[in-house]
């Protein structure tokens, strides 16, 4: 038993226990979404499109939104972290304009950044949904970051 799975050191806050319960219940769907966000078309190709300066990088926004929506369902009664949501807002809802080619990094980097942040939290949800038996008080960094997503840290 690791210190993170010590049953004597539970984080017994109602909101955390509810988040963890939903996380465990949704783990198969989260794993599927992470696999999609890590594969050729969900990760490798969009990053290539960014560096290739292809308008197809704009499709990454849909995936970001899908991840954010899924993460929100884990704690529907809580707002997601305001910094995270600002990053998501600045990196989604964009449509390609030919002028974007002249300012490629300014136009597209926020989309890639939003995707990376969303994917990070999805990855932490899957990792700790698998590794933890219960929400711990003494916690690994990724679990602590996931709690920040829901403003529980």
Residues 6+ apart with CB under 8 A from 34: 119, 122, 123, 126
Closest by alpha carbon to 47, among 123, 100, 116? 116
- Tokens linked to 86: 């600002």
Report the SS3 class of residue 6. coil
Given pLDDT bands bounded at 50, 70 and 90, which one contains residue 5? Answer: low
pLDDT per residue as tens digits for the range 90-124: 999 999 999 999 999 999 999 999 999 999 999 99
Q: pTM (2 decimals)? A: 0.90
pLDDT per residue as tens digits for the range 27-38: 999 999 999 999
Q: Where are the domains of the chain?
A: 8-149
pLDDT of 3: 52
pLDDT per residue as tens digits for the range 44-56: 999 999 999 999 9
Average pLDDT, the chain: 93
Percent of the chain whose predicted confidence (pLDDT) is above 90: 86
Ramachandran category for residue 53: left, alpha or beta (phi over 0 → left; psi -120 to 50 → alpha): left
């Amino acid at each position: 038993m690791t210190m993170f799975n010590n049953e004597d050191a539970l984080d017994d806050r109602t909101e955390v226990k509810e988040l963890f319960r939903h996380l465990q219940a949704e783990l198969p769907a989260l794993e599927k979404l992470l696999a999609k966000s890590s594969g050729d078309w969900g990760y490798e190709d969009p990053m290539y499109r960014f560096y290739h300066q292809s308008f197809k990088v704009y499709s990454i926004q849909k995936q970001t939104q899908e991840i954010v929506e899924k993460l929100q369902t884990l704690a529907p009664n809580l707002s997601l972290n305001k910094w995270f949501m600002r990053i998501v807002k600045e990196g989604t809802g964009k449509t390609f304009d030919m002028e974007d080619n002249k300012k490629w990094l300014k136009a597209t980097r926020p989309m890639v950044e939003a995707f990376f942040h969303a994917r990070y939290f999805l990855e932490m949800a899957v990792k700790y949904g698998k590794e933890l038996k219960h929400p711990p008080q003494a916690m690994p960094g990724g679990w602590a970051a996931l709690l920040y997503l829901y403003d529980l840290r």
